[in-house]
Amino acid sequence: MSTPRPAKKSALSRRQQLIEDILMAGREGSAATIMFHTAMAQRAGLTPTDAKTLDTLLRTGPLTAGELAGCTGLATASVTSLIDRLEQKGLVRRGHDARDRRRVIVKPVHERITEGASIWGSVRSAYADLLRHYTAEQLEIILDFMRRSGERTRALTSELSANPKSNTLKSWRQGRD
């Protein structure tokens, strides 16, 4: 007499399969993005973290070291040495806040940064072409996902930086709806 075979797992629902496919595509896209940004940073003589911090400053405007830590999810001590590196390369300047002279503000040096920024125009154009394939409603959904994904990633980064020895992440539970 043969041993009965275990019942086959029921096929995933269409929704669950789409979630699994999106998660896998996210991993693939994340890997491609990291490799791209690493190559771009190396071309500019920077680390990927340095390059993304500059991008943060260009998007947000001048920030304190603490604000920069909040935007990047990096520990404040890491941000201080990162600012030192960028300042040594002439890409940022520290200055005093006009309203509170005790606060130190980190400002991007636009003239130095735009020297190597010409390639970003073609990258932006390539993605704009890709987005033209979607309806306004689809673009709203994509934008919502990208914003939420960025928020979630920053929360996870912050948690990893704050608890480097922890084997669990609690931030994944935030915003479940």
Does residue 8 sit within a domain?
Answer: no
Does residue 147 sit within a domain?
Answer: yes
The whole-model pTM stands at: 0.69
Output the pLDDT for position 103. 87
**What is the span of the domain harbouring residue 158?**
15-162
CB of 80 closer than 8 Å to CB of 65: yes
Does residue 175 sit within a domain?
Answer: no
The CA distance from 106 to 86, in Å, is 10
Residue 19 is encoded by which pair of tokens? 């979630």
Residue 42 is encoded by which pair of tokens? 């190396």
Phi, psi of 11 (to 5 degrees): -60, 145
What CATH number did the domain enclosing 67 receive? 1.10.10.10
Does residue 44 sit within a domain?
Answer: yes
> pLDDT of 7-56, one tens digit each?
445 578 999 999 999 999 999 999 999 999 899 889 888 999 998 899 89
Give me the residue label for tokens 């390059």.
51
Shortest CA distance to 119 belongs to which of 64, 44, 11, 14?
44
Does residue 172 sit within a domain?
Answer: no
Does residue 168 sit within a domain?
Answer: no
The CA distance from 107 to 58, in Å, is 9
Number of domains, the chain: 1
- Name the DSSP class of 12: P
From residue 78, alpha-carbon distances to 148, 154, 162 in Å are 25, 16, 11
Output the pLDDT for position 177. 44
Does residue 137 sit within a domain?
Answer: yes
> pLDDT of 124-169, one tens digit each?
899 999 999 999 999 999 999 999 998 998 888 878 877 777 777 6
Does residue 4 sit within a domain?
Answer: no
CB of 86 closer than 8 Å to CB of 53: yes
